[in-house]
Amino acid sequence: MLWHIVQRELFQQLSSLRFVLATVLIVLLMIVNAIGHIHQYKTQQIEYRRQVSASLERLQRNSNNLYTLVVRGPGGLNKQPSKLSFCAQGSENHLPPSVFGWSAGWGKDLNIEGTLYKVSGLWRLQYGTSPPITGTDIFPTFLKIDWTLIISIVLSFVALVFTFDAVSGELERGTLRLTLSNSIARGTLLVGKFLSTLISLGVALLSGILINLLLLHLSGTLQLNGEEWIRIGGIFAVSLIYLSLFSALGLLVSSLVERSATSLVMLLLIWIIWVVLIPATLGTILSGLNLPQANRDYSELRSAQLKEITERYEARGLYNKAPTRARPPTPATLLWAKFLNEEAQANRGLNKEFLTARIYQIQVARNFNRVSPAAIAQYVIESFAGTGFQRHLNFLKNAENYAKEFNNFLISADRADSDSPHVPFVREGMSDKPVPFESIPKFQDGVRLERIFEGATLDMGLLLLFFTVLFASAHVSFQSKEI
Amino acid sequence: MFGTLIQHEILTNLMTFRFFAAVIACVVLVLATTIALTDNYERRLASYNAALQAHHQKNFSAQTYSGFSPRLERPPNPLSLFNQGLDKRAANSILIRRDKVPSLWDDNYHSAGFDNPFRHLLATIDIVSIFQILLSLLALVFAYDAIAGEREDGTLRLILVNPVGRGLFVLAKYLGAMLCLILPILMSFLLALLLQLQSPAIHYSPGDFLRIGGMFLTTIVYVSTFYLIGLLISSMSRHTGTSLIVSLFIWVVLMLICPNVSLFLVNRFIETEERLEQANREIAQIMERFQREKQELRNPFEWPFLLKGSWSGTSISKNVTYIEAESESEISTVKAYYQELEPRRIRAAKAVWLVRKQAYSETFGRKSTTARNALRLSPTGLYYLATSAYAGTDLVAMEAFFKAARQYQQTILDYFYDKKAFGSRQWFASDKEVVRWRDVPRFSYQPLGGLEDASSRAFRELLQFFLLNIVLFILTLVIFSRQDV
């Protein structure tokens, strides 16, 4: 019986004007997305490879002396662009594309006992600011033409347009009474309507996705491995959950009110507020409550910190004697090493604190945004596509781990040299021999599938919860409806 | 008869659920947003004032001429509550240096208050974008059954039996609906203004009120455009159902798809990389030449140091606080060094600026102009452009600040030349005398204001809006008068 209803409803849906319009719209958007991506993908990949090889070249140049690596660091650590960025742009062009493992940015020429002693800070991770304005982004492009836009905004709208008259329309035309005069349970009818809507939405989305992937495949930009296909499958699954939520909402409102015009107006208002306005306002308002320290204060803090540490060590006689290569190390060598390490340590702490405050602000805003299913869907699709904020946090973690690995390598490379006094990280206390380039650890960025699922589980659960509540209320209100 | 028709139209529109729901939604949203944005503005203003205070002391605390590097602040614009445009996006703090000419395109790193590198992940909203989304939809919901509905009910035939021309009938429909639609706009504007004026931080001048009036007018024209689009569709369709579905899809296309697709395409297909790289190469050459020139001169602050004493500073600013008597004879050499070096540094900076200026206008400038023209293709884009011009948050208004900063930089350089500062002892040393900044020119910046200026920038968009309205109206009329009732 259920299958019979689904068949009938589906036939009606698929032959309607709205289905045709929606499918055409989605296919067109998918084509625009594919064309844009083909173009962007090449420049993105070229740029990434250029940056990586520039970093490696720099590393090789600096590997002629272990101490040079200590001062100059590993260079820029670049974020690997996702192959699936056509699914979700994830504001990638607003996020810093790399962090910098560069020199400290301070150095001194000292006159100690009549000779010049040059000293500079140890390398450290520096987190970039957002990229500058570059032309089109002076306009509010809060939406990018990608799968996220098509699914979370356009298709949710289409789902409501498909369902707004599902019950109230039949009631107006009087066909509902006819249908129910057969021995059909109301629950079965509702499930039938729901399934047929979901299937037709799925058909519209799938045809868009297939054309999109076909275009990308023909242009040769689509070279995905098994894992990436699983991620695309994940995106499709999330979309279906998301769209069932909106179908259930449409059915709920449609069975609550008497007239389909009222139902539509109510649904449109709910949609505008829930899908468009809440993600745009709520987060901003609430993130205004915990403002992090301004950049400016931070740079003042940084120079004050350097000054404080320098003065403290100056009082202990830092500037009286320069370090030497003598073995066992002289007190001056040990003091200088201690000073340099402490300064680098303190600065790392400050950089980290600065970053954490900013991440926290965004995370609070994102958590509040989860009131809106559109925001949730966006976050999940982004994490499946390997773009966006969550991915950026992963990248930052990768970079931090690499920084530790790099420093450990420096220490172990110094241990391997028997001529060194082994006092890291002051020049005189360390090996001054070249390091084999191959032995230096290289930065490798990437996403792991299990980490994606870890992050997406909660959001998918939330979407399912929304759906269950909405569908259950639709069921109740349809059961108790006077016909 | 005409009057009766309008009256009838107003009454049937006012008594509906959709009108009630939309007015409530519009007013509540505008109020909530205004409260949030006013709070946000107060914070930004407080942050601006704090920065101004801090920099006022710091800017003129340099003890030597070379240490002078003032920071300039751009005040937040209260009209950004209506359309925020670039007000939060563009840099609001510029460091004036001798060796760099400030420009909008590369100086956005410093923003007071909201300088989170991830802040662009959060979409932000303003009053205009609420109108943009909500009122356009409301206009379509009003219009979809205006003609098709009467035709379905059979009332159209009844009305046209009376001696009413079809043109008059359409006009009455239009006027009646517009009078109803103006109500939520007016209420929202007035409530928003009332709330904003409660805040001690916001003061509007009469000119500002006129500009708000300009935005009000633009909003009405915008809503009218959407109503006419709906009316056109309604006059073409047999059934209200069809008319509604088509209207909604057109709305999605005009609202979401059109502006985004055009910006997306402009962004993808205008290349900037190559031109910028070329400019960078030219700049590198200029800088190399300057470095060569610099190396020919003997830097007194490089080992072996010429002066015995103590000093601090960076590569371009020096402050010698103590010189031993035996080094006193070397002072004239140091003076000559700077007398020679600084004009060259400034010349190099100017040459670099000319290259950058050209490159920026060919890349980012061109991109933004093309994007602007592409946005004009949709009423949504037109509305955004016109209101941002009225609010003074568009690109032109932002550039005005950088222009003022560039002028100020030039004034400072002229001041140095006047004072013969480069060849003076106070350029690098404060041991004898500290520089008193009594007669140095101060920076003053008047945000681009005035109704005339704003209107002239919004003129093209408004004209286009009016033309669009007229064309849509005539089209509706023609189609409607050729149809059977």
Dihedral sign computed on CA atoms, order A264, A267, A268, A269: positive
Characterise B164 by phi-psi region: left (phi > 0), alpha (psi -120 to 50), beta (else).
beta
Cα–Cα distance for residue pair B93/B114, rounded to 1 Å? 12
pLDDT tens per residue, range A376-421? 999 999 999 988 888 999 999 999 999 999 999 999 999 988 888 8
Interface probe with B: pick from A133, A147, A301, A390, most Cβ of B within 10 Å: A133
CB A117 within 8 A of CB B220: no
Q: Which DSSP state fits A130? A: P
Query: Chain B: residue nearest A32 by CA?
Result: B261
Cβ neighbourhood burial of A115 (10 Å; 0-12, 13-18, 19+): exposed
Tokens 């015995």 — which residue? B308
CB B87 within 8 A of CB B401: no
Cα–Cα distance for residue pair A214/A211, rounded to 1 Å? 5
pLDDT tens per residue, range A26-55? 999 999 889 888 877 888 888 899 999 999
Which residues in chain B are contacts of A280 at CB distance < 8 A? 123-125, 129
- Check A294 against B115: CB less than 8 A apart: yes
pLDDT tens per residue, range A259-270? 888 898 889 889
Percent of chain A with pLDDT over 90: 44
Size of interface A-B (CB pairs under 8 A): 201
CB A324 within 8 A of CB A333: yes
Which residues in chain A are contacts of B121 at CB distance < 8 A? 91, 94-95, 362, 388-389
* B36 → closest Cβ in A138, A272, A281: A281
* A40 → closest Cβ in B22, B268, B304: B268
- Check B117 against A129: CB less than 8 A apart: yes
CA distance A142 to chain B (A): 6
* A221 alpha carbon, distance to own chain's centre: 22
- Check A284 against B122: CB less than 8 A apart: yes
Q: Which DSSP state fits B483? A: S
pLDDT the model gives residue B316: 84
Can you give the pLDDT of all 485 residues of chain B as single tens digits?
788 888 888 888 888 888 888 888 889 889 988 988 888 888 888 888 888 888 888 888 889 999 998 988 889 999 999 998 888 878 788 888 898 898 888 755 555 444 666 777 777 788 998 899 889 998 998 898 888 888 888 888 887 777 778 888 889 889 999 999 999 999 999 999 999 999 998 999 888 999 999 999 999 999 999 999 999 999 998 888 889 889 988 998 898 788 888 887 887 778 888 898 999 999 999 999 999 999 998 888 887 778 888 888 888 888 888 888 888 888 899 999 999 999 999 999 999 999 999 999 998 888 888 888 988 989 999 999 999 999 998 888 888 999 999 999 999 999 999 999 999 999 998 888 888 888 899 998 888 767 788 888 899 999 999 999 999 999 999 999 888 76
Residues 6+ apart with CB under 8 A from B198: none
3-state secondary structure A229-294: HHHHHHHHHHHHHHHHHHHHHHHHHHHHCCCHHHHHHHHHHHHHHHHHHHHHHHHHHHHCCCCCCC
pLDDT tens per residue, range A128-150? 766 666 666 666 655 678 899 89
Phi/psi for B363 (5° steps) reads -110, -80
Alpha helices in A272-385 (DSSP H): 278-287, 295-315, 331-369, 373-385
* A262 → closest Cβ in B17, B109, B263: B17
Which residues in chain A are contacts of B257 at CB distance < 8 A? 25, 29, 154
Cα–Cα distance for residue pair A157/B293, rounded to 1 Å? 65
Which residues in chain B are contacts of A142 at CB distance < 8 A? 123
* Average pLDDT of chain A to the nearest whole number: 88
Beta bridge partners of B73: B93
- Check A157 against B252: CB less than 8 A apart: yes
- What average pLDDT does the segment A179-194 reach? 87
- Check A21 against B246: CB less than 8 A apart: yes
Tokens 């909106």 — which residue? A246
Which residues in chain B are contacts of A365 at CB distance < 8 A? 122
Whether the pLDDT of residue A20 is over 70: the answer is yes
Query: Chain A: residue nearest B88 by CA?
Result: A138
Cα–Cα distance for residue pair A121/A444, rounded to 1 Å? 26
pLDDT the model gives residue B258: 86
Cα–Cα distance for residue pair B13/B21, rounded to 1 Å? 12
CA distance B209 to chain A (A): 25
Q: Which DSSP state fits A93? A: G
Would you call B33 an interface residue with chain A, using a CB distance cutoff of 8 Å? yes
Supply the pTM of this predicted model.
Answer: 0.87
Percent of chain A with pLDDT over 70: 94
Interface probe with A: pick from B48, B59, B115, most Cβ of A within 10 Å: B115
Residues 6+ apart with CB under 8 A from A409: A439, A440, A441
Whether the pLDDT of residue A296 is over 70: the answer is no
Cα–Cα distance for residue pair B354/B348, rounded to 1 Å? 10
* B115 → closest Cβ in A133, A264, A295: A295
pLDDT the model gives residue B112: 44
CA distance A405 to chain B (A): 26
Would you call B236 an interface residue with chain A, using a CB distance cutoff of 8 Å? no
Residues 6+ apart with CB under 8 A from A103: A71, A72, A73, A120, A121, A123
Cα–Cα distance for residue pair A196/A190, rounded to 1 Å? 10
- Check B113 against A157: CB less than 8 A apart: no
- Check A39 against B32: CB less than 8 A apart: no
Phi/psi for A291 (5° steps) reads -75, 130
The structural domains of chain B, with segments of one domain joined by +, span 1-267+379-413+449-485
Whether the pLDDT of residue A291 is over 80: the answer is no
CA distance A161 to chain B (A): 8
- Check B122 against A266: CB less than 8 A apart: no
Characterise B179 by phi-psi region: left (phi > 0), alpha (psi -120 to 50), beta (else).
alpha
Interhelix angle A449-479/A226-256, nearest 10 degrees: 20
**Can you give the C-alpha Rg of chain B in angstroms?**
30
